Structure 1
Amino acid sequence: MFSIQVPSPLQRFYPDWPNAERYQLYVKRDDLIHPVISGNKWRKLAAPILQFAQHRPSRVASFGGGYSNHIHALAYCCWQLQIPLTVFIRGDYTGNETPMLKDIVTWQAEIVYLNKVDYQRRTETEFINQLSAQYDIDVVIPEGGSQQQCFAGMQSLADEFNRPIDALILPVASGGTLAGLSVAKHSTIDQLHGIAMLKGADYVDKLVADLIDKRKHSDYTIWHDFHHGGYAKVTDELAHFCQRHSAQLNLPLEPVYSGKALHAMQQLVSRGQFATGATLVFLHTGGLQGAR
């Protein structure tokens, strides 16, 4: 439907990190599956988009920030399918639209700006029902596309690994990717290591646990030491890391997700977190809106 290029490549890389020579390091290039709806954005949206193509909704809606990769991908999909879309954006960007917002306007999405108090209600059933009635919305996709419906896409990702992996390292924000991989049936991935992109250990842990919701799942670890001050916060160290490694590894990085997670991987490798000889894979979840 959208010329998705799967399976995505699994590429060996050789960074100049302390202890890097002790491991076999790879990057799963999910960022290459599509130029717009790349990485976990497509994996999460694949199932609902297939349903949209079969049973066209009157209007779709979702939530996100002004640089949301999820909103960007969803808007493109809805535009291609000619499905009306309303997006509820955290904060008011009137007169100061981000590149992402300019794109989705071109793709005919309706933008509604919410203040902080209203945006915090984005998971409340009463609030969602109110918005649905007001804007004639048929389907609401949660922030980040993270819902149990996205698990099928995570299963397809797990199925692409055809060799044993000791640890898969990935960013965690809305929780859907880590939750979906943890419930996926596979025999190749030994450990899942999620790198929290935002502050609040209890909040992030609960997002993942609530999505899993009593399902049988693999153990996973969420690291809360590498958020650099919070969601979308960028330190000088992180900015320099992204710039340097993008050039050295020929790997597109932004400081909100991919760069932050790869930096965490560097720290874990440098302190010898894993057994010598382990195969470690960095999951590049795509989406470069944070670099625009």
Structure 2
Amino acid sequence: MSDNGGMTALDVLRPRLPSPLREVRDDRFERHGVRLLLKRDDLVHPELIGNKWRKLAPNLAAAAGRPVVTFGGAYSNHLRATAAAGRLLGLSTVGVVRGHELAGRPLNPSLARCAADGMRLRFVDRATYRRKTEPAVLAALLRDCDAENAYVVPEGGSNAAAVRACRELGAELGDRADVVAVACGTGGTLAGLAAGLAPGRRALGVPVLKGGFLDGDIRRLQQAAFGGPRGAWWLDDRFHFGGYARVSPALDAFAADFERRHGVPVERLYVAKALYALLALTEEGAFPRGTTLAAVITGRPFPERTL
């Protein structure tokens, strides 16, 4: 994007890269001989948090000033980040939201933030939403949104450009961690992270949705981005806690305890599930003594709160 006197999106938005990496001392890990690092991608940008910055930046550049249309659920971090980017860069944005708007009911805080940032919201039924990538359905949605010339960013921001950008996340970690965990929605961050890790390092994906479909999606994303598989990665589907946007009392208590122990805000829909998975796997003996783990902190709680 160069509509700002030659500036790029990177120049205008001023990300903090590489994001900080810090060790936390936690006896629950230490008793198993395991170290825990936090990759603070939540500090990359105050409004385009973590992996959302990494995935959006190349797509915003490709949009080249055109309106941006993208997709997400009612609590989508991706929609909120896209709306914020639109406000900051002066871009028109449209969010196609899964599910019907509830007549007479206010928007939830996440969608209200999108609207306040200037995003036009278009609600579609779930059947249509599932078919959104079909050319005829997509064309009809763009016509309905009066955005036929728009640049389309897929759900979660995950496409080949985004995956290639997320490779830098793995490169930033270098040889500091043996296993790097990240919560997964659409799988783009994991696909790029694994590709960027040093040889002998592995990436763990913790899906936040039920269904067991991400394995194929990640393989397709790596094929599109790199022409084939890259890096070592695996998924553990046990920690979705009922599916997307589901937070059990046990998960909430775990996240609150982690916040008290370490002074790090823990976002519940993604980050808490990745941290919980790392602790559960550690207690199961999945990691040999001497292993260094890293958890990618991809977001912050919303609405924002301080500890």
Does TM-score exceed 0.5, indicating one fold?
yes
Alignment partner, residue 106 of structure 1 = 116
Alignment partner, residue 171 of structure 1 = 183
Q: Does the 8 A contact of 1:62 with 1:88 survive in 2?
A: yes
1:116 maps to a residue whose letter is: R
2:52 maps to a residue whose letter is: K
Distance 1:287 1:170 in 2: 14
More displaced stretch, 118-127 vs 165-174: 118-127
Match for residue 9 of structure 1 among 17, 20, 38: 20
| 1:200 correspondence with 2:204 | no
2:135 maps to a residue whose letter is: T
* 5+ residue gaps, structure 1: none
Alpha-carbon spacing, 1:289–1:126, altered in 2? closer, same or farther (3 Å): farther
| 1:239 correspondence with 2:249 | no
TM-score, length basis structure 2: 0.88
Distance 2:77 2:172 in 1: 23
1:52-95 C-alpha deviation (Å, 9 max, x unpaired): 4xx221x2101111111111011111122211111111123442
Alignment partner, residue 132 of structure 2 = 122
Q: How many residues align?
A: 287
1:35 maps to a residue whose letter is: P
Alignment partner, residue 290 of structure 2 = 277
| 1:56 correspondence with 2:65 | yes
User: What's the % identity of the aligned pairs?
Assistant: 31
Q: Post-superposition shift, 1:216?
A: 3.6
1:31 maps to a residue whose letter is: D
Alignment partner, residue 30 of structure 1 = 41
SS of 1:50's equivalent in the other structure is helix
Match for residue 169 of structure 2 among 147, 150, 157: 157
| 1:209 correspondence with 2:183 | no
Q: Post-superposition shift, 1:232?
A: 1.5
Alignment partner, residue 242 of structure 2 = 229
| 1:39 correspondence with 2:50 | yes
More displaced stretch, 37-46 vs 13-22: 13-22
1:127 maps to a residue whose letter is: V
Q: Does the 8 A contact of 2:86 with 2:118 survive in 1?
A: no
RMSD: 1.9
SS of 1:22's equivalent in the other structure is coil
| 1:92 correspondence with 2:100 | yes
Distance 2:92 2:292 in 1: 44
Q: Does the 8 A contact of 1:90 with 1:114 survive in 2?
A: yes
Q: Post-superposition shift, 1:187?
A: 2.1
Q: Post-superposition shift, 1:21?
A: 4.8
Higher RCO by CA contacts (8 Å cutoff, separation 6 or greater): 1
1:179 maps to a residue whose letter is: A
